[in-house]
Amino acid sequence: MTERPYKDETLLTHAGNKPRANFGIVNPPVYHASTILYPTVAALEAALKDKFSGVTYGRNGTPTTFAFEEAVAAVEGGERAIAMPSGMAAIAGALLTFLKQGDHLLVSDSVYSPVRGLCGGTLAGMGIETTYYDPTIGAGIAALIRPNTRLVYLESPGSLTFEVQDVPAIAASARARGCLTVLDNTWATPLYFKPFEHGIDVSLHAGTKYITGHSDTMMGVVICRADHYQQLKTAIHGLGYCAAPDDCYLALRGLRTLAVRLARHQETALTLARWLQARKEVTRVMHPALPQDPGHRLWKRDFGGASGLFGFALKPYSPAAVAAMLDGMELFGLGFSWGGYESLLIPTKPQALRTAVPWFSDGPCLRLHAGLEDAGDLIADLERGFARLGAAA
C-alpha cells in the first residue's frame, strides 16, 4: 500500500496484500517452508548476515507471515510486528527479550492469570522479581519503580475484571525512569486502542481472540517500533517461536473483517450489559463503556470502542445454583478463550487471583462474551438461566 493516511477500515481491508505479486490472487498464498534455497554461495552468505529481512529460513517467516505482520502493524500503529504461535508465546517472548537476571518487573494485578505462572515460575527461577500493582494506580506507579525496575507490564482493561488503566500516565512515569512498557491489547484489538499513541513501547495480542475471530486458531503477535524490532526478533529467533503459515493465513483472513465483527460484538455486549444492570440477581456489571463503571472516564478518553467481553458479579448464590444456571445455557458456551463469533459465559474467581489489592466482591462472578447471535435470543437464554439460578437458590 502507499503511505497515504488511510483510515483503519481501509488498512484492515488492504494492508499486507500484494495481489500483483501473486497472479492477481487477492489473498496471499500459504507458503509452507523450512528450507529456502539460494542460487549462489554469495547469496547464502548475504542471507546469513541479514537473516531477518526477506525469506531466509522457514522459522524466520514466509510471505504469508509477513503479510499478516504488515497488516497488524499498520492498524495497531506500530512499525513492525512479529507473529507468534499463541498469545502466551507473545507475552513470554516480549518479557524474555527485555528482562535479565537481577531485573525487577511490575505487573498489573488484573493480568491474564497464566502470566502470574510465568512470572512466579520461569522468570523467578531466572532471578527476575515481580511486584504486582493496583491496575488503577496511574502515575502512582512511580513510587513502585526501583533502580533495577526494567519493565512495566499492563493489560487494559483487565480481561477478567475490566479495570481500565491510565496507560498514558503509567507510560510517562515509566519512561521518565528508564523503564520499558509492554501492553496486552487483546481486549481492545488494534482497532479500539492505539498503544503507541499513548506512549507504550511494545504491545501484544492473543490473536487467538478477535483477530482470528472464529475459535479455530492459536495465534499471537508482538508489535513494536523499529528501534525495538531487532532485539525482539533476535530473542524470539533464539527461543524458536514461530507461527505456522496456515495460522497466519487464518489470522489475516480474520483481520479483514475485524471492524464489522467488532461493531456487532460491541453493540450486543452493551445491550446485554444494560439488561444485566437491571437484574435483581446482579450486584455489579464490569463494562467500561457503561457510564457507572469506575473506568468509564478513562475508557472514553483513550479508547475508540468496546469489544464484546465483560463481567458481572452476582449476589452470594451458592456454587450449585450458579452451576444450575450455567449448565443449562443453550446459546452461551461454557469454555475459555473468547473473541470468536459465538457467545460464552463462564464462572470466574478474581478474589482467588489478586495479590496487590483485594477484589471487591466475595460473591460469584461471571464473564460473558457477546457473540454474533441475535441479542434478543441471548437475553432469552440469560433469562431462562436466571430462572434456574433462582429455583436452585
Ligand X SMILES: *Cc1c(COP(=O)(O)O)cnc(C)c1O
User: Per CB under 6 A, does 371 bind ligand X?
Assistant: no
By CB under 6 A, tell whether 348 contacts ligand X: no
Write down the least CB distance from residue 133 to ligand X, Å.
Answer: 17
CB crowding 10-47: b at 16 or more within 10 Å, else e = ebbebbbbeeeeeeeeeebeebebeeeeeeeeeeeeeb
**Residue 252: CB minimum distance to ligand X, A:** 16
**From 186, 212, 268, 348, residue interacting with ligand X (rule: CB under 6 A):** 186
Distance CA(61)–CA(34), nearest Å, equals: 9
How far apart, in whole angstroms, are the C-alpha atoms of residue 109 and residue 272?
Answer: 27
**86 lines the binding site for ligand X (CB under 6 A):** yes
181, 208, 268, 343: which one contacts ligand X (CB under 6 A)?
208
> Is 184 one of the binding residues for ligand X (CB under 6 A)?
yes
Q: Does residue 112 have an active-site annotation?
A: yes
By CB under 6 A, is residue 87 in contact with ligand X? yes
Asked if 159 is part of the footprint of ligand X (rule: CB under 6 A), the reply reads yes
Nearer to ligand X, 93 or 245 (CB): 93
Residue closer to ligand X by CB (options 209, 284) is 209
Q: Of the residues 194, 209, 284, 388, which is catalytic?
A: 209
Q: Which stretch binds ligand X (CB under 6 A): 1-9, 84-92, 278-286, 342-350?
A: 84-92
Least CB distance to ligand X at residue 208 (A): 3
CB of 166 vs ligand X, minimal distance in Å: 18
Between 62 and 208, name the residue whose CB sits nearer to ligand X: 208
183 binds ligand X, rule: CB under 6 A: no
- Sketch the per residue contact string, 51 through 70, with ligand X: x for CB under 6 A, - otherwise: --------------------
Please pick, among 103, 109, 112, 229, the residue that the annotation labels catalytic.
112
Three-state secondary structure of the chain: CCCCCCCHHHHHHHCCCCHHHCCCCCCCCCCCCCCCCCCCHHHHHHHHHCCCCCCCCHHHCCHHHHHHHHHHHHHHCCCEEEEECCHHHHHHHHHHHHCCCCCEEEEECCCCCHHHHHHHHHHHHCCCEEEEECCCCHHHHHHHCCCCEEEEEEECCCCCCCCCCCHHHHHHHHHHCCCEEEEECCCCHHHHCCHHHHCCCEEEEECCCCCCCCCCCCCEEEEECHHHHHHHHHHHHHHCCCCCHHHHHHHHHHHHCHHHHHHHHHHHHHHHHHHHHCCCCEEEEECCCCCCCCCHHHHHHHCCCCCCEEEEEECCCCHHHHHHHHHCCCCCECCCCCCCCCCEEEEECHHHHCCCCCCCCCCCEEEEECCCCCHHHHHHHHHHHHHHHHHHC
- Nearest residue (CB) to ligand X, 67 versus 204: 204
101 to 120: interface string for ligand X, x by CB under 6 A: -----------x--------
100 is catalytic: no
209 is catalytic: yes
**Candidates 9-17, 18-26, 83-91, 371-379 — which segment interacts with ligand X by CB under 6 A?**
83-91
Which residue minimizes CB distance to ligand X?
87
Q: Catalytic annotation on 233?
A: no
Of the pair 234, 337, the CB lying nearest ligand X is at: 337
Residues annotated catalytic, as ranges: 59, 112, 184, 209
Binding residues for ligand X (CB under 6 A): 86-88, 112, 155, 159, 184, 186, 206, 208-209, 218, 220, 337
